[in-house]
């Protein structure tokens, strides 16, 4: 895959991840706030229970903002190839790493791209060449196959298993 393809896949995955987190949290927050209303209207409810559910509702609202917004921003920036998309992707990947196992996998994939081809991709603005790791490998034609075959023919092929020690004394 080219860096453009990786960038597009990671951007889409961050949008999906952010949308999933935002949707989940936006279901939980009204759930807890509805309990606050129900508990507040009950005269026999313990006095601190409404406050407890209200605190949980605010906590989940903060989580929705913290875990839902950065992946959406990073995904948008990556798909639009903004200059700040690399930083947003790294920040978003750090936050998605908290959600094991899928968030951690997205984090590893994002880090892999952002610290290899993504660095050149966003620094150059329009990076089109993939990393040339293939050039660092030796050519198979440069290997001396005849010398290896001759050395293998000279080597003894007989396997003699070692004898166990005589424990009978």
Q: For residue 98, what pLDDT band results from cuts at 50, 70 and 90? A: confident
> Percentage of the chain surpassing pLDDT 90?
33
> How many domains is the chain built from?
1
pTM here? 0.65
- Tens digits of residue pLDDT in 54-94: 787 788 788 888 888 999 999 999 999 998 999 999 999 99
> Percentage of the chain surpassing pLDDT 70?
88
Q: How far apart are CA 12 and CA 21, in angstroms?
A: 14
In a domain, 162, yes or no: no
In a domain, 141, yes or no: no
In a domain, 60, yes or no: no
Q: What is the mean pLDDT of residues 112-128?
A: 78
- Tens digits of residue pLDDT in 136-155: 555 666 667 788 888 888 87
In a domain, 119, yes or no: yes
In a domain, 99, yes or no: yes
In a domain, 54, yes or no: no
Using alpha carbons, list the distances in angstroms from residue 11 to 57, 68, 81, 89.
30, 14, 10, 8
Q: What is the mean pLDDT of residues 24-49?
A: 80
Q: How far apart are CA 71 and CA 96, in angstroms?
A: 8
Q: For residue 167, what pLDDT band results from cuts at 50, 70 and 90? A: confident
Q: How far apart are CA 63 and CA 48, in angstroms?
A: 23
pLDDT greater than 90 at residue 7: yes
Q: How far apart are CA 70 and CA 74, in angstroms?
A: 6
In a domain, 77, yes or no: yes
Angle at 154 between CA 150 and CA 155, to 5 degrees: 120
Residue span of the structural domain in which 27 resides: 3-41+69-124
pLDDT greater than 90 at residue 110: yes
Concatenated DSSP letters of 105-125: HHHHHHHHHHTTHHHHHHHHS
In a domain, 30, yes or no: yes
95 contacts: CB under 8 Å, gap ≥ 6: 66, 67, 70, 71
pLDDT greater than 80 at residue 129: no
Pair 96, 71: CB distance under 8 Å = yes
Higher-confidence position of 44 and 107: 107
């Amino acid at each position: 895959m080219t860096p453009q393809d990786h960038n597009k896949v990671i951007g889409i995955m961050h949008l999906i991840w952010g949308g999933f987190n935002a949707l989940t949290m936006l279901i939980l927050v009204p759930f807890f706030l509805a309990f606050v209303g129900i508990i507040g209207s009950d005269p026999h409810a313990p006095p601190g229970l409404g406050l407890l559910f209200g605190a949980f509702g605010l906590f989940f609202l903060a989580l929705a903002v913290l875990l839902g917004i950065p992946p959406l921003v990073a995904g948008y920036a990556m798909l639009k190839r903004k200059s700040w998309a690399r930083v947003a992707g790294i920040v978003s990947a750090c936050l998605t790493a908290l959600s094991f196992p899928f968030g951690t996998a997205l984090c590893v994939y994002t880090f892999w791209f952002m610290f290899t081809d993504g660095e050149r991709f966003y620094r150059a603005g329009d990076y089109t060449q993939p990393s040339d790791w293939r050039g660092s490998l030796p050519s198979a034609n440069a290997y001396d196959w005849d010398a290896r075959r001759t050395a293998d023919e000279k080597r003894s092929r007989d396997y003699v298993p070692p004898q166990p020690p005589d424990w009978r004394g």
